[in-house]
Amino acid sequence: MIRYERRGSAALVTIDRPERHNAVDGETAAALLEAFERFCADDSAAVMVLTGAGGRAFCAGADLKAIETLDADAPAGPMGFTRLASPKPTIAAIDGHCLAGGLELALWCDLRVATPASTFGCVERRWGVPLIDGGTQRLPRVVGMGRALDLLLTGRTIGADEALAMGLLTRVAEDAPAGALALAEEIAAFPQDTVRSDRQAAIEGFGLPLQDGLALEARLGRERLRTAHDGATRFSERAR
């Protein structure tokens, strides 16, 4: 159900239930959590890329035919790891339907790369299923409250062009996994302690009063002065 592969500097995690549009049941959620924990423990994996198999869906959300197997009170989140924070960058590679809990999984990721034919929406609205994998909190942070409420309240489905225009997507690519893996290598090429500390400052500082956010940034930045010194030395000594 879940494949974990190393691709260069990235850990590629694939939801492999194409016969169910990669919908998540209890067993799949447990396997997703296991893959996430494996990524966290893999010091050589700089970025996690999450995708779905089959080319028709990234993830259609919770498997409504097996919804009783999902635990709404799971500490890590019903869909596997949506209530946990990743210590390293994450990218969703989306090809096809990215709906309901699948959209919440994509929103959990830092960045999102999708094919032109991909679609997005909170379609669980039609069946009265609540968003409990972070969607009500992350969607407004990504696209703004007005656009988020449009999607949350209407349950409408949007295409990649509109998703890109509203900031839901980072990039559109004909081959989403390849595009996401290339983006992962771009990120992995930089000194990783600074990448991770700046990411932490942005995520944890969001919503804090400005002075508290600046203090967090200063504290984390101060811890990376050695990396900054080494980088400045390399810059000054490079061949001209």
Alpha-carbon dihedral of residues 77, 46, 38, 176, nearest 10 degrees? 60
Q: How far, in Å, CA of 17 to CA of 150, rounded?
A: 30
Residue 126 backbone phi and psi in degrees, to 5: -65, -25
Query: Which entry of 19, 27, 37, 124 is annotated as an active-site residue?
Result: 124
Among candidate residues 5, 27, 68, 104, the one labeled active-site is 104
Beta bridge partners of 93: 51, 113
| Neighbouring C-beta atoms of residue 3, cutoff 10 Å | 13
DSSP-H helix ranges across 43-121: 101-108
Q: Both tokens of residue 206?
A: 């969001």
What is the secondary structure of 175-224 as a DSSP string?
SHHHHHHHHHHHHHTS-HHHHHHHHHHHHHHTTS-HHHHHHHHHHHHHTT
Q: Is 162 a catalytic residue?
A: no
Is 104 annotated in the active site? yes
Distance CA 83, CA 108 (A): 9
Quote the CA–CA distance of 90 and 51 in Å, as a whole number: 11
Residues classed as catalytic = 104, 124
